[in-house]
Amino acid sequence: MNNFVITIDNKQKEQIKAQYLAYQLPNNNPHVEAFFKIDNVSITLYQSGKLLFQGKDAQQYAQEWGTPSENRKAQPSLTQQVPMIGTDEVGNGSYFGGLAVVASFVTPDDHAFLTSLGVEDSKRLTDQKICHIAPLLKEKIPHQALLLAPQKYNEVIERGYNAVSIKVALHNQAIFLLLQKGFAPQQIVIDAFTSSKNYNRYLANETNRFSNPITLEEKAEGKYLAVAVSSIIARAMFLENLSQLGQQIGHSLPSGAGKQSDQVARDILAQYGMAGLEKTAKLHFANTQKAQALLSHRK
């Protein structure tokens, strides 16, 4: 078995736990802070800051994170006082529903309008507020929205993509299409979901490319209005998709990847089999196996 160990800091610990939340499994080792199982690799995060990768793809996943010094490369200084494209995604951590990615073009002239609507990071807004202001943003702010429905998401995973490379492809395509419409940003910022090194590695596999420099910045949705706009539009898209899928399948589909998702998935399995989950859920999440176990115990 391939084994790779790197040492990370507390900030990276939180990044690891957020990125792999959907793959987390129980672990009784008192020294283990979190344990994840993803396809051909298991990842063990120790309280000490050691991160152990084991399995066929261990080296590939370890290289995504490198060492703290590698991940602390200085980012260019950004300012909101120029035309900017900002991107964000919603749905990555939810078992049910698709993955929505939005790129928005915002200029300083838009700032007063956005501030008047109370635009900020979608995580700080209620879903009711998001659904109220998203149509206003879509009408006023140039943007490119992409939604990868669960069934298509599962097909892409089967073709060899993973959760990170899918996001790289969607962010890149949203920016590319917005640039193709003739918008000329002075800066492009992506709410960081992986390291720049890893982003560029996956980007090399994409066909549609552009020469504009990009910056990946953590928590960018709370710093730049262009990213905040994208987070709100993407959240509204995700919620609408979740509602539509729920109506089609006859079950109220929860957001997230908790126990409620396991129970709803069990009920869908009982009624429709795997075909029902293929149309509504991201099958590589651990929730699929949990739902199958719940159904087995109920029989």
Count other C-beta atoms under 10 Å from residue 104's C-beta. Answer: 31
- The angle formed by the CA atoms of residues 11, 17 and 20, to the nearest 5 degrees, is 135
Annotated binding residues for a divalent metal cation: 88-89, 191
Of the candidates 16, 34, 5, 9, which has an alpha carbon nearest to the alpha carbon of residue 194?
16
Annotated binding residues: 88-89, 191
Query: In this structure, what token pair is assigned to residue 65?
Result: 């994170």
Query: In this structure, what token pair is assigned to residue 170?
Result: 């969607």
Count other C-beta atoms under 10 Å from residue 106's C-beta. Answer: 28
Indicate the angle between helix axes 225-249 and 127-140, nearest 10 degrees.
120
Provide the 3-class DSSP secondary structure of residue 255: coil
Which residues, 6+ apart, have CB-to-CB distance to 211 below 8 Å? none
